[in-house]
Amino acid sequence: MIAGALAFLIQTLGNLFVVAVLLRFMMQVVRVPFRNPFAQFIVAITNFAVKPLRRVVPGVLGLDWACLLLAFLVELIVVLAEYWLNGFPFGLAGARVWPVMLGLAAVRLVSLTVYMIIGLTLVRAVLSWTNPNTPLMPVVYELTEPFLRPLRRIVPMVGQVDLTPLVLFILCQLVLMIPVLALERVLLGAL
């Protein structure tokens, strides 16, 4: 019972931190203005881990690889902690378990990224109807527009309603259901 509660706590806190680091990475990719209060919050809660890692992992091609590496390492720790708390016999499994754990961490990182895109799109849709002038809207707009813009070329507006967020939800769910779930099942089958 305590192990389950501890696993839940580690997974929740770890994944929240991973989402914050992924948000920081995405904000840098799409060039979100960092003078925004939400952007400053994300930078403030991730700086303690990203800054030291940047000394070791340089940015290449304008991408902050330290953020991606940090997100992957934290997700790997979450996966290892979850299996350890559930009594997985790491000692008996030997070295063959490490590629599986690395793969599971990568798959869960992709899954978290897709869920983050779904969440950001939902926030954008709600804010566009309720309070489009909130300080959060410019950040959410910049983070979701690269995913929605290509869909707008294909999906027409219906009665002045933009259906591209709905199409993006469906596409994200398909990504989670088909390749991500299939990869996770293959990896779990290797244990």
Q: What is the pLDDT confidence band of residue 145, given thresholds at 50, 70 and 90?
A: very high
The DSSP letter of residue 61 is T
Domain spans of the chain?
A: 2-189
DSSP 71-120: HHHHHHHHHHHHHHHTT--HHHHGGGHHHHHHHHHHHHHHHHHHHHHHHH
Q: What pLDDT does 89 receive?
A: 82
Q: Which residues pair with 158 in a beta bridge?
A: 161
Q: SS3 for 60?
A: strand
Q: Give the global pTM.
A: 0.90
Q: Give φ, ψ of 8 to 5 degrees.
A: -60, -45
How does pLDDT run across 12-62, given as a tens digit for each residue? 999 999 999 999 999 999 988 888 899 999 999 999 999 999 899 887 887
| Burial tier of 91 (Cβ tally within 10 Å: 0-12, 13-18, 19+) | exposed
How does pLDDT run across 83-135, given as a tens digit for each residue? 998 888 877 777 888 999 999 999 999 999 999 999 999 999 999 889 888 88
CA 137/CA 52 separation, integer angstroms: 30
